[in-house]
Amino acid sequence: MTSSGLNGVTAGSSGISTVGQEDVGLTYRGYSITDLAANSTFEEVAYLLIYGKLPGQRELDAYKKKLAGLRSLPDALKTLLEALPAASHPMDVLRTGTSLLGTLETEGQGGRTAVAIGDRLTASFGSMLAYWYRFHSRNERIETESDEETVAGHFLSLMSGKPADPLKRKALDTTLILYAEHEFNASTFTARVITSTLSDTYSAIAGAIGALRGPLHGGANEAAMELVSSFDSPQDAEKSMVHMLAAKRLIMGFGHRVYKNGDPRSPIVKQLAKELSEAADNTSYFDISEKIEAVMMREKGMHPNLDFYAATAYHMCGIPTAMFTPVFVIARTSGWIAHVIEQRADNKLIRPLSDYTGPAARPYVSVEERG
Ligand code: COA
């Protein structure tokens, strides 16, 4: 039996996360997302996903130091970032940067492993984005080192050119935890399909970035911001939403393939969006978002997913809208790498079948006879 979009199909086994399991919810290697978001940092979570256990203090310090030492960009990559059009989507910038790095720091060369590539990309994606952004928007060639200890702080400080604000740094760090891993979602499955052909890690990550870019997947946080910012007030949102729903428009940031009774990450990111908005004394997007949430519940019985309130949270962190999905990439790279490693450990080519719906078998007609 065919399942549209592989809906409900179990396509393999994995020991990395549970998504939507009754009584268990979302866990990374057995730890609940609520505990991780409340108590840990993104670096601890990335380590957990890739190495399979939470780091001890010494391991964590060494891991953070290692990531901080992997932030610089080769000259050839800087030249490429400068040559890319200023109007490029930053997801294309990351996809292209990943491909180039794959030719400069090839897997296998000097014993370079998937883990090393994951560390390098996690550490340098923020540098790539900020270098490209500052060159094209402010005509600056920046240093890609920073004094910030964390991936979140490094990205924020490089983008703005100032030390990261502690509240924004902490909020971004928490969203990176929420975004880090989610079982067989479209981009992770893409990475696993590519890995299953015995291709290289850079190809798996570049393919995953391509899958994440679409608005039905990671691109939803950017699309949600466009929706929220298109309304002047909660009243305007209420009126327009009713028309949009009557016209059967998809409301970005709502619905989920697995979670039909709510995304456990959403209340956490909603609280962050609220705190950031209140701290800035500007709750207009948050108020509009709450109204959209209420209308979606009333009219469709639908819950927001992580991407919906992530939009307001990122906006309040001062992150440009086009960078929302690239920030998701920075986080999800750790999950992707964990899946590349797991796929390789017990590999079988992923090659399903299709139900044929084309013409019945027919005789070949020569080009002369076809006229
Ligand atoms: N806004 C309005 N209606 C929605 C909707 C949304 N965001 N998401 C689903 N629906 C509707 C569908 O149109 C469908 O209606 P129908 O039965 O009248 O055709 C019904 O709800 C069931 O949805 P379905 O398409 O079967 O869900 P899915 O599992 O295939 O899709 C998503 C899941 C995430 C792709 C879908 O909910 C969506 O497109 N959401 C918006 C994009 C988004 O936020 N993506 C990020 C996901 S984390």
Q: How far is the CA of 196 from the centre of ligand 1 (A)?
A: 29
Q: How far is the CA of 328 from the centre of ligand 1 (A)?
A: 20
Which of 119, 263, 307, 339 is an active site residue?
307
Structure tokens at 103: 């030719």
Q: How far is the CA of 47 from the centre of ligand 1 (A)?
A: 33
- The reported pLDDT for the residue numbered 221 is 96
Catalytic status, residue 346: no
Helix locations, the chain, DSSP H: 33-39, 42-51, 57-68, 75-83, 90-104, 114-138, 151-160, 166-179, 186-196, 201-212, 220-229, 234-246, 266-279, 284-300, 306-316, 324-345, 367-370
pLDDT digit string, tens, across residues 195-246: 999 999 999 999 999 999 999 999 999 999 999 999 999 999 999 999 999 9
Structure tokens at 219: 């691109």
- The reported pLDDT for the residue numbered 260 is 87
What 3 state SS string does 319-366 have? CCHHHHHHHHHHHHHHHHHHHHHHHHHCCCCCCCCCCCCCCCCCCCCC
Atom number in ligand 1 closest to CA 253: 44
- The reported pLDDT for the residue numbered 251 is 96
Total-model pTM: 0.96
How far is Cα 72 from Cα 87, in angstroms, rounded to an integer? 24
- The reported pLDDT for the residue numbered 169 is 98
Q: How far apart, in Å, are the Cα atoms of 169 and each of 152, 200, 239, 276?
A: 6, 33, 35, 11
Query: Is the Cβ–Cβ distance between 165 and 181 less than 8 Å?
Result: no
Catalytic status, residue 339: no
Which of 256, 303, 315, 339 is an active site residue?
256
Atom number in ligand 1 closest to CA 255: 37
pLDDT < 50: residue spans in the chain? none
Which of 89, 136, 200, 217 is an active site residue?
217
- The reported pLDDT for the residue numbered 1 is 73
pLDDT digit string, tens, across residues 180-206: 999 999 999 999 999 999 999 999 999
Structure tokens at 34: 């609520």
Give the residue whose CA is nearest to atom 4 of ligand 1: 250
**By three-state DSSP, how is residue 17 classified?**
strand
List all residues whose CB is within 6 A of at least one atom of ligand 1: 5, 216-217, 220, 250-257, 300, 305, 307
Structure tokens at 173: 């760090």
Maximum Cα interatomic distance, the chain, rounded to a whole number of Å: 76
